[in-house]
């Protein structure tokens, strides 16, 4: 066995309790608490994927298996690994209820604790590679990003996966106590069980020993890593080979485009999951997808450590003190160039890590970026980057510090000004977007719990269309029969509110085919809403045309106050 140097990557691997460290960690915790003060009330956000996790957790808590209870037939789930639903189930067992508003509040408090741990562990990781002050600012950048605030407010895997990723890095960098490799491995296993992309942690954990020539430990780690992967793959294979999977409750229930009901592999096999009429992706299509995504990476990474491009525009256009006429005339080009530049600095930082033999974190980032480039959902990238934000900020800061150190006399002013200039710009943008997020993007919610009591709280990205959608669901809950089936863009959330079976509409463009598929469910109510959910756009493309083509089959029975939502009921006796 080869002997390793005591500190092969030249970073501080010791965790000492110093006054400066303690002060900065407490300051980060205080900042975290400050961002949470306006949002302690009410349940965690259970819309979108959050409702899916919650439904799966309810099935586990009720002893029904890993099933989507909203679907006709309570079908077995095959998309999400089970750790987050298991966390939901544990809360329901302890609290003795599955009421989303009750359990959701405790989940919000748990996510607050996870956020505190994320802040502290991110600082400890960054501090190993750079001076304490820069590590502190780097974590502030992570905490104030609008997507970090939003995703910590949502029942999603991003925050817990981000914490596991940071802890994995913290316990993997450099030698230490004997327990640290085991702790890193535990984080890798849990990371895979909470998100499919957690397989990157397992690969890096095994490869780290291989690259060091420690084949015995690499083999042991590989054997451990195979267990959760093989377990999940075996479960999915068993579900897919079952009679229930082959004979679904309605014809399109297991269609490859119905992503909640099928595996990622099935969904990725389509050329465009939102346009199944384009057919399956060929090898050439997949290659084009990857190339297009690779070209998107620099700008998207720039947004991941600052703000989405739209907020760069808003800062220049809406803030009087920031308005620069020349910049405003060429706003699109300037903001795009700035974001690409930020992304290029991050990629240069990864190259710097590789040059310094800091292979583990660099490999983790490159593998993760590569995995994201295979996906056909670029609009989802902001949430995909959130868990690795501390690692992206670390690469950015390492690049800027390296540029400062290498700047010669002729470039000394530029080299020394680049670091504070970039960080200052990012912090101004993030402060602007955070304030905007709390003042404008966070809207009031009013929902009834199962005892009929009204709960008042607020959520990010809760606009008028979302409010009217929830009002429509509560109207439908009070009017419809429990056995009725609803087609809607957010079926899992609709199920939590109404208790009725809920499905997504078929992603088809032929109105007659859409009608036949909904008849086969059979769907009694169709909700057309004006929310920003991708499926809502699809419904406005396909289902609206179906209703227009067959006005004798559907009648409007509900309209929202602003016309942003409508409920259509099947006319009695018109099912084909």
In this predicted structure, the answer to whether residue 121 has a pLDDT above a threshold of 50 is yes
Query: What range does the domain containing 549 cover?
Result: 445-570
Q: Is residue 53 part of a domain?
A: no
Mean pLDDT of 285-308: 97
CA 59 to chain centre: 22
> What are the pLDDT digits (tens) for 415-471?
677 889 999 999 999 999 999 999 999 999 999 888 888 899 999 999 999 999 999
> What are the pLDDT digits (tens) for 21-33?
999 999 999 999 9
Q: Please, which residues have CB within 8 angstroms of residue 141's CB and are 6 or more apart in sequence?
A: 305, 389, 393, 423, 426, 427, 430
Cα-trace Rg, the chain? 25
Do 463 and 377 share a domain, yes or no?
no
Q: Please, which residues have CB within 8 angstroms of residue 425's CB and are 6 or more apart in sequence?
A: 306, 338
Do 191 and 137 share a domain, yes or no?
yes
Do 526 and 421 share a domain, yes or no?
no
Do 217 and 334 share a domain, yes or no?
yes
249 CB neighbour count, 10 Å cutoff? 17
> What are the pLDDT digits (tens) for 509-525?
999 999 999 999 999 99
Q: How far apart are CA 40 and CA 314, in angstroms?
A: 28
**Rounded to 5, what percent of the chain is helix, strand, coil?**
65, 5, 30
Q: For residue 143, what are its two tokens? A: 């905490």
Query: Are the CB atoms for 68 and 100 separated by under 8 Å?
Result: no
Mean pLDDT of 539-559: 92
Q: Is residue 7 part of a domain?
A: no
Higher-pLDDT residue of 376 and 312 is 376
Q: How far apart are CA 490 and CA 503, in angstroms?
A: 8
Mean pLDDT of 89-94: 98
Do 431 and 456 share a domain, yes or no?
no
Q: Is residue 575 part of a domain?
A: no
Q: How far apart are CA 559 and CA 276, in angstroms?
A: 30
What local confidence, expressed as pLDDT, does residue 5 receive? 40
Do 395 and 460 share a domain, yes or no?
no
Phi, psi of 529 (to 5 degrees): -125, 165
Q: Please, which residues have CB within 8 angstroms of residue 232's CB and are 6 or more apart in sequence?
A: 81, 192, 193
In this predicted structure, the answer to whether residue 271 has a pLDDT above a threshold of 60 is yes
In this predicted structure, the answer to whether residue 323 has a pLDDT above a threshold of 60 is no
What local confidence, expressed as pLDDT, does residue 220 receive? 97
CA 525 to chain centre: 30
Relative orientation angle of helices 331-355 and 359-373, to the nearest 10 degrees: 140
In this predicted structure, the answer to whether residue 333 has a pLDDT above a threshold of 90 is no
Do 435 and 519 share a domain, yes or no?
no
Percent of the chain with pLDDT over 90: 81
Q: Average per-residue pLDDT in the chain?
A: 91
Do 143 and 32 share a domain, yes or no?
yes
Q: Is residue 71 part of a domain?
A: no
CA angle, 304 then 308 then 310, to 5°: 170
Query: By C-alpha distance, which of 379, 381, 56, 349 is closest to 197?
Result: 381
pLDDT-based confidence at residue 539 (cuts at 50, 70, 90): confident
Mean pLDDT of 48-72: 98
> What are the pLDDT digits (tens) for 335-349?
899 999 999 999 999
Q: Please, which residues have CB within 8 angstroms of residue 259's CB and are 6 or more apart in sequence?
A: 79, 267, 273
What local confidence, expressed as pLDDT, does residue 326 receive? 56
Domain boundary among 388, 413, 439: 439
182 CB neighbour count, 10 Å cutoff? 12
Do 486 and 350 share a domain, yes or no?
no
Query: With b meaning 16 or more CB within 10 Å and e meaning fewer, what string describes 339-369?
Result: bbebbbbbbbbbbbbeeeebbbbbbbbbbbb
Domain boundary among 419, 439, 459: 439
Do 349 and 460 share a domain, yes or no?
no
pTM: 0.94
In this predicted structure, the answer to whether residue 229 has a pLDDT above a threshold of 90 is yes
What local confidence, expressed as pLDDT, does residue 223 receive? 98
Higher-pLDDT residue of 456 and 313 is 456
CATH code of the domain containing 501: 3.40.50
Do 358 and 460 share a domain, yes or no?
no
What local confidence, expressed as pLDDT, does residue 408 receive? 63
Domain boundary among 418, 439, 460: 439
In this predicted structure, the answer to whether residue 9 has a pLDDT above a threshold of 50 is no
Q: Is residue 533 part of a domain?
A: yes
Q: Is 330 helix (H, G, I), strand (E, B) or coil?
A: coil
Q: How far apart are CA 573 and CA 576, in angstroms?
A: 8
Q: Is residue 74 part of a domain?
A: no
Task: Name which of 170-179, 239-248, 269-278, 530-539 the model is least confident about.
Answer: 170-179
| Dihedral angle sign, alpha carbons of residues 457, 463, 466, 470 | positive
Mean pLDDT of 147-166: 97
pLDDT-based confidence at residue 16 (cuts at 50, 70, 90): low
Q: For residue 48, what are its two tokens? A: 């979108």
Q: Is residue 11 part of a domain?
A: no
In this predicted structure, the answer to whether residue 14 has a pLDDT above a threshold of 60 is no
Q: Is residue 258 part of a domain?
A: no
Do 388 and 534 share a domain, yes or no?
no
Number of domains comprising the chain:
2
Contacts 24+ apart (CB under 8 A), 252-258: 252/506, 252/517, 253/71, 253/72, 253/73, 253/75, 253/503, 254/75, 255/506, 255/507, 257/507, 258/504, 258/507
């Amino acid at each position: 066995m080869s002997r390793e140097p005591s500190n092969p990557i030249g970073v501080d691997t010791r965790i000492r309790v110093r006054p400066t460290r303690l002060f900065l960690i407490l300051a980060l915790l205080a900042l975290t608490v400050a961002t949470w003060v306006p949002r302690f009330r009410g349940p965690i956000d259970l819309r979108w994927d959050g409702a899916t996790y919650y439904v799966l957790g309810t099935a586990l808590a009720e002893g029904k298996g890993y099933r989507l209870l909203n679907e006709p037939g309570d079908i077995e789930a095959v998309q999400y690994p089970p750790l987050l639903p298991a966390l939901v189930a544990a809360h329901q067992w302890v609290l003795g209820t599955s009421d989303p508003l009750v359990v959701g509040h405790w989940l919000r408090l748990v996510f607050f604790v996870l956020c505190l741990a994320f802040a502290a562990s991110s600082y400890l990781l960054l501090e190993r590679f750079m001076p304490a002050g820069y590590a502190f600012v780097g974590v502030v950048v992570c905490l104030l990003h609008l997507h970090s605030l939003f995703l910590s407010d949502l029942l999603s895997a991003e925050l817990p996966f981000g914490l596991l990723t940071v802890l994995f890095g913290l316990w993997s960098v450099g030698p230490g106590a004997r327990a640290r490799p085991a702790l890193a491995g535990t984080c890798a296993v849990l990371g895979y069980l909470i998100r499919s992309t957690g397989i990157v942690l397992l690969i890096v954990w095994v490869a780290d020993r291989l690259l060091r020539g420690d084949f015995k430990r690499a083999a042991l780690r590989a054997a451990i890593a195979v267990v959760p992967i093989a377990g999940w793959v075996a479960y999915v294979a068993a579900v897919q080979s079952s009679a229930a999977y082959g004979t679904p409750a309605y014809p399109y229930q297991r269609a490859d485009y119905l992503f909640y009901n099928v595996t990622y592999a099935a969904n990725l096999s389509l050329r465009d999951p939102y346009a199944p009429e384009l057919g399956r992706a060929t090898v050439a299509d997949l290659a084009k997808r990857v190339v297009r995504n690779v070209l998107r990476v620099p700008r998207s990474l720039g947004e991941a450590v600052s703000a989405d491009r739209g907020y760069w525009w808003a800062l220049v256009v809406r803030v009087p003190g920031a308005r620069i006429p020349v910049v405003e005339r060429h706003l699109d080009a300037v903001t795009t160039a700035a974001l690409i530049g930020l992304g290029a600095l991050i990629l240069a930082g990864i190259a710097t890590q590789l040059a310094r033999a800091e292979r583990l974190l660099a490999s983790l980032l490159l593998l993760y970026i590569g995995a994201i480039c295979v996906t056909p959902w670029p609009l989802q990238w902001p949430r995909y980057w959130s868990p690795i934000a501390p690692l992206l900020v670390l690469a950015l800061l390492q690049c800027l510090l390296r540029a400062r150190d290498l700047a010669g006399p002729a470039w000394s002013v530029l080299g020394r000004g680049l670091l504070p200039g970039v960080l200052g710009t990012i912090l101004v943008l993030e402060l602007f977007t955070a304030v905007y997020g709390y003042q404008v993007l966070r809207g009031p919610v009013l929902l009834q719990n199962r005892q009929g009591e009204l709960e008042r709280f607020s959520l990010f990205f809760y606009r008028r269309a979302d409010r009217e959608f929830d009002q429509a669901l509560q109207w439908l809950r009070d009017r419809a029969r429990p056995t009725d089936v609803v087609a809607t863009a957010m079926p899992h959330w609709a199920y939590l509110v109404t208790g009725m079976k809920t499905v997504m509409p078929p992603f088809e463009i032929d109105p007659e085919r859409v009608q036949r598929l909904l008849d086969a469910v059979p769907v009694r109510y169709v909700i057309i809403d004006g929310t920003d959910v991708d499926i809502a756009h699809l419904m406005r493309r396909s289902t609206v045309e179906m209703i227009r083509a067959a006005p004798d089959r559907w009648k409007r029975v509900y309209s929202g106050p602003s016309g942003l939502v409508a409920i259509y009921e099947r006319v009695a006796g018109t099912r084909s």
